[in-house]
Structure 1
Amino acid sequence: MMQLSSLRICSPPQKGKSLQQVLLIRVALVLISLAPAKAAQFSNLEPIELKVPQQLFVPNEFYIKGLLDERTDRSPVAFLVPSISSGNQLQTVDLKGGAIPALENFMFNSLPQNPALRPVVVKIKDCKIMETLVDNQKGVVEGQVFLDFAFELVRGDDLVHLLDFQGGMSYKRGTRQHAVIEPVFRRSLGNALNYFNDWIEKEAPVNEKLAKTVKVSIRDYRHDYDDDTVFYDPQRPLRWTDFRGRPRFSQYAASIFASISYEGNSKVVGGEVHLDLILKTYMLKSSSWVRGQNPDGHGLNHEQRHFDIAKIVTERLREKISQLELLPHNFDRVISYHYLEAYREMNRLQEQYDQETSHGMNKSAQERWNRKIDDELKAFNLLDNG
């Protein structure tokens, strides 16, 4: 007698296992710890020989590159009722050849291996068959197959998490019908692979993780809303009215708060990430200040050059990002890294500029920096080359 019931699939991923799954695993652990000697007396059950179907289906988006064993419990896969007389003293039975080699053989050979597709690694979190003798008069056994897999995309040396699968099947059998266990387990594995295949086919055109390339467009943010922020514009030099902060106790006549930032908006178009990257070079009026009613133009030039240095660093960042071969799974992390490097460079240059010009008091040094800054602004087409 064989009765299949209630295919169980729990996805999208859940953070914790269901109470039923937790209890099944706990029962398994208790049985192993309390009755290893009794389990050893059962010798009638052979390892489960997992058969490989000729071809489950033909994937169009992925191939299985490998398996990783991440089971916390690496005891044999199955906890089976060997006979009526055994009651609920279960016998542990593994897959023939070992769990992971058997699963590898199944996944590698039941699906075509096409290296032109996306390489996927399957992490085996859990894989169990648990049985209970529910009627010792009629010899009825209930079984549960539980699978917990994670599917991850291989990107160079990285693994990119795609999908968690938690599912399995329930079945009933007679105590002597051990042969029905393998087909149920095999069907559960097939269901897991089919579920992932359906997911990746649906997600491939729109999911950022599955995109194959990144197309970047970089632009400046220059909108002036006459509020607290002045964004760098070569046609709009600073004026003293931009310095609205309260002067601090300092030996200097003025101070500017100039900085850089960015924002990015991305979408997937036809399997390609389109990234709109907006670079911002700005000064804050409320954090910039000037002391005195009629400061000279020399002082304003010194503060303008701080703003120019921030813009030069922004342009260097633009140049760097334009030369990168960005990947869909980590382009945001890579851009963030280079932005932080640029931010550190800006701070270093600002300090060097103030030190060498004595905060604008050393006029000859100031002139050297003026020429140096102008040369780089011209190189970035931010200043008239005439």
Structure 2
Amino acid sequence: MKLKRPYIRIVFCRLKLAILLLVMLLFIKEGYAQKVNLEPIPLRVASQVFSPEEYYIARVIDERKDLNPTAFVVVDLMRGNNLETVNLKGGTIHALEQYILEAYPGNRDLLPVVIRVKDCKIIEKLKDSQTGAVEGDIHLDFTFAIDRDEQLVDLLDFQGGISYQRGFRQVNLLEAFLRRSVNLSMKYFNDWIEKDAANNQKLAKTVRLEISDYKGSNDKDTVFYSPNRPLTWEDFKGRPRFNNYAASIFASIGYASNSKVENGEIVVDLVLKTYMLKSSSWVRIGNDSYGLNHEQRHFDIAKIITERLKNTLQALSLAPHNYERKVSFHYLEAFREMNQMQEEYDRETSNGTNGSAQQRWNDKIDSALEELGVD
């Protein structure tokens, strides 16, 4: 029995509709709603960006508090904001270091710079599920520091990155966006260091001490040491103490410093001071020139120590990051040496009452002053 033609047409139309629906479903599944496969993000060096002229990157270190994966990426349009995490290929810090060292090769005779990575994140969101548009932000938080004998001296903070848009399937663009962000951080630091290199103390390469003696005038309470200005009893203004001594002097040493940077070198103007304080020095009524000589020799001892300190400081090899600490250390050592020598002087001369010992110390002090060029 033959089928009627209208029935054949209906079956054929239904078949065409079914095929069309199947094709549409396949299209949606394969071409639009399929979850994107996500691989670790590489950082590729397309070419050398530039070679720093004032520094080189020594290493990149990890100081992130958040050790979660670097990127939170849209990979599924049906669940657009259920982000998938992924790291940089080889690990975040390793990938950043390898990229920076290759893209920014430097002369290892220059200043060693360390990049302290505080944060590195890629965060995305689905902007439009119909068009497949994805928005993202890259945030970098770097601190650039100089490595001074394994001590890091911070120079500059960089907190920035870029915002971007991409198509749903264009996950390969993440590498280019991140590379651009890293390049921005390097340019920011390089521009800063080229501008400040000659005048920034942290960037200085060497230190030069210019040492001198204080040349100012005495004031109401202070007498500064001068071979041409010996002490008089009028310099002893303090109230006598309740002890058996006939007189006492407060003699000491100190220094003041100012620094500036000239063509990448720290120039330190260091002024050494040997002084006595009138209000802390005293004498009982009726003392004589012999007693005054004993007190003058205390002042001379302070000057001897100042000159020895000067010679010590002039022989030092100083680094920009710790020269102040070294100068302070040697000053304190000199101060201790002065106190020890003063005590030895008083002990051996019995505070000046032993005349022969006093003469030996007079000769010893005169010889030391002459040897040190104090005249």
TM-score range, shorter chain: 0.7 to 0.9
Q: Distance in 1 between matches of 2:227 and 2:266?
A: 31
Q: Distance in 2 between matches of 1:273 and 1:310?
A: 29
Q: Distance in 2 between matches of 1:77 and 1:330?
A: 37
TM-score (ref. length: structure 1):
0.84
Does 2:217 align with 1:207? Answer: no
Q: What is the one-letter code of the residue matched to 1:170?
A: S
Q: Distance in 2 between matches of 1:291 and 1:272?
A: 52
Q: Distance in 2 between matches of 1:307 and 1:345?
A: 14
Task: State the Cα distance separating 1:362 from its structure 2 match.
Answer: 2.2
Structure 1 range deviating more: 190-199 or 202-211: 202-211
**Alignment-derived partner of residue 41 in structure 2:** 48
Q: Distance in 2 between matches of 1:171 and 1:258?
A: 70
**Alignment-derived partner of residue 276 in structure 1:** 269
**Alignment-derived partner of residue 104 in structure 2:** 111
CA contact (8 A) 1:52 1:105 kept: no
Does 2:63 align with 1:70? Answer: yes
Among 346, 356, 365, which residue is 2:348 paired with? 356
The size of the alignment, in residue pairs, is 341
- The correspondence of residues 152-231 of structure 1 with structure 2, limited to 5 A, is 152-231=145-224
Does 2:285 align with 1:328? Answer: no
Percentage of identical aligned residues:
58
- The correspondence of residues 1-386 of structure 1 with structure 2, limited to 5 A, is 44-292=37-285, 294-383=286-375
Q: What is the one-letter code of the residue matched to 1:52?
A: V
**Alignment-derived partner of residue 26 in structure 2:** none
Structure 1 range deviating more: 330-339 or 140-149: 140-149
Task: State the Cα distance separating 1:337 from its structure 2 match.
Answer: 1.1
**Residues 53 and 347 from structure 1, CA distance in 2 versus in 1: closer, same or farther, beyond 3 angstroms?**
farther
Task: State the Cα distance separating 1:261 from its structure 2 match.
Answer: 0.8
Task: State the Cα distance separating 1:162 from its structure 2 match.
Answer: 1.6
Q: What is the one-letter code of the residue matched to 1:284?
A: L
CA contact (8 A) 1:309 1:350 kept: yes
Greater C-alpha Rg: 2
Task: State the Cα distance separating 1:329 from its structure 2 match.
Answer: 2.1
Q: Distance in 2 between matches of 1:226 and 1:120?
A: 48
Q: What is the one-letter code of the residue matched to 2:351?
A: H
Q: What is the one-letter code of the residue matched to 2:255?
A: Y
Q: Deviations over 1:232-285 (max 9, x none)?
A: 001111111001112222211111111111111111112222221100010111
Q: What is the one-letter code of the residue matched to 1:69?
A: D
Task: State the Cα distance separating 1:378 from its structure 2 match.
Answer: 0.9
Q: Distance in 2 between matches of 1:276 and 1:242?
A: 30
Q: Helix, strand or coil: the match of 1:286?
A: coil
CA contact (8 A) 2:218 2:224 kept: no
Q: Helix, strand or coil: the match of 2:353?
A: coil
Q: Deviations over 1:58-83 (max 9, x none)?
A: 32111111111122222221122222
Q: Deviations over 1:25-73 (max 9, x none)?
A: xxxxxxxxxxxxxxxxx88211111111311123211111111112222
**Residues 49 and 375 from structure 1, CA distance in 2 versus in 1: closer, same or farther, beyond 3 angstroms?**
same
Q: Deviations over 1:283-338 (max 9, x none)?
A: 1111111111x211121111111111111111111000000111222211211111
Task: State the Cα distance separating 1:365 from its structure 2 match.
Answer: 2.1
Q: Distance in 1 between matches of 2:155 and 2:243?
A: 55
Q: What is the one-letter code of the residue matched to 1:184?
A: F
Task: State the Cα distance separating 1:364 from its structure 2 match.
Answer: 2.3
Task: State the Cα distance separating 1:148 from its structure 2 match.
Answer: 1.2
Q: Helix, strand or coil: the match of 2:279?
A: helix
Q: What is the one-letter code of the residue matched to 1:336?
A: S
Q: Which runs of 5+ in 1 are unaligned?
A: 1-41
**Residues 165 and 289 from structure 1, CA distance in 2 versus in 1: closer, same or farther, beyond 3 angstroms?**
same
**Alignment-derived partner of residue 25 in structure 1:** none
Q: What is the one-letter code of the residue matched to 1:354?
A: D
CA contact (8 A) 2:36 2:169 kept: no
CA contact (8 A) 1:126 1:147 kept: yes
Over the residues paired in the alignment, what is the CA RMSD in angstroms? Answer: 1.7
CA contact (8 A) 2:53 2:106 kept: no
CA contact (8 A) 2:36 2:76 kept: no
CA contact (8 A) 2:51 2:106 kept: no
Q: Distance in 2 between matches of 1:203 and 1:250?
A: 60
Q: What is the one-letter code of the residue matched to 1:347?
A: N
Q: Helix, strand or coil: the match of 2:172?
A: helix
Task: State the Cα distance separating 1:226 from its structure 2 match.
Answer: 3.8
Q: What is the one-letter code of the residue matched to 1:112?
A: P
Q: Distance in 1 between matches of 2:78 and 2:68?
A: 24
